Amino acid sequence: MDLIRKCDPRRVAFTVGTLLGGLIAMVPAAEAADEAAIERLIQTNECAGCDLHEADLRRLDLSGANLVGADLEGANFYYANLDGAQLQDANLIDVNLGYASLRGAFLDGSDMRYAIFDHTDLTGTSMIKTDLRESYIDQPILISTILNGSDLRDTLFFDADFSQASLCGVLTWAGTEYRQGCNVTVPDEIDDIYRR
C-alpha cells in the first residue's frame, strides 16, 4: 500500500494489474459441452442427463433421441431433426430451434426460457407444463401441439397461429390462465337444460 501512497503511476498500475490478474485467474473458465457426451449422443442417439450446454448440434438428425433431463442450455439446434425426441425435464434455456423439426417430440416440464422458435415445426409436440417465458416464437407450425399448463408470459409471438393447439391452463402474456382445449365435464343436470 506504500506504493499507492507515493502515487508512482507505474507502480500503482503494476500493483492493481497484479491484483486483478490474480482475481481473474481464480475465476473458473466457462466450459462448453462435454465432447464425450456429444460423441455419445451422435453414436447412440441417447444421452439422458448429459451435460450438453452450448453444444453445436446444427443440422443433426436426432430423431427419437433420448435427452431426458439433459443440460442443453444455449445449445444450437438450427435445422436439426428432433422428431420424436424425448426432452422431458431438460434444461433448454436459450436454445436455438430455428427451422428445427420437433414433430411428435416430448418437451414436458422442460425449461425453455429465452428459446428461439423461428419457423420451428412443433406438429404433435407435447409441451405440457413447459416454461416458455420470454421466448421468441416466429411463424411456428403448431398443429395439434399440446401446451397445456405451460407458461407463456412475456413471450414474443410473430405470425403464430395457436388455433389448432391445445392451450388448457396456459399462462398468457398478460398472466391470465387460458382455457382453449380444456375438456370440462358438464354435469348431466346442466347438460339436460341446454339440450331442451
How many residues are listed for the chain in this entry?
196
**Which CA distances in Å does 130 have to 109, 110, 127?**
5, 5, 5
116 plus 20 within the same structural domain: no
13 plus 38 within the same structural domain: no
Give the pLDDT confidence score for residue 187 in this predicted structure.
57
Give the pLDDT confidence score for residue 8 in this predicted structure.
52
What's the pLDDT tens digit per position in 123-172? 999 999 999 999 999 999 999 999 999 999 999 989 999 999 999 999 98
Give the pLDDT confidence score for residue 189 in this predicted structure.
60
The boundaries of the domain holding residue 1 are 1-30
85 plus 1 within the same structural domain: no
The number of distinct structural domains making up the chain is 2
Give the pLDDT confidence score for residue 196 in this predicted structure.
53
Indicate which CATH number applies to the domain containing 50: 2.160.20.80
174 plus 77 within the same structural domain: yes
- The answer to whether 158 touches 140, Cβ cutoff 8 Å, is no
In this structure, what C-alpha cell is assigned to residue 143? 398443429
Give the pLDDT confidence score for residue 33 in this predicted structure.
76
- In a 13 Å sphere around the CA of 40, the CA atoms on its Cβ side amount to 15
d(CA 110, CA 73): 11
Residue-wise pLDDT tens for the chain (196 aa)?
Answer: 444 444 555 554 444 444 444 443 444 444 567 899 999 999 999 999 999 999 999 999 999 999 999 999 999 999 999 999 999 999 999 999 999 999 999 999 999 999 999 999 999 999 999 999 999 999 999 999 999 999 999 999 899 999 999 999 999 877 788 876 687 565 566 555 545 5
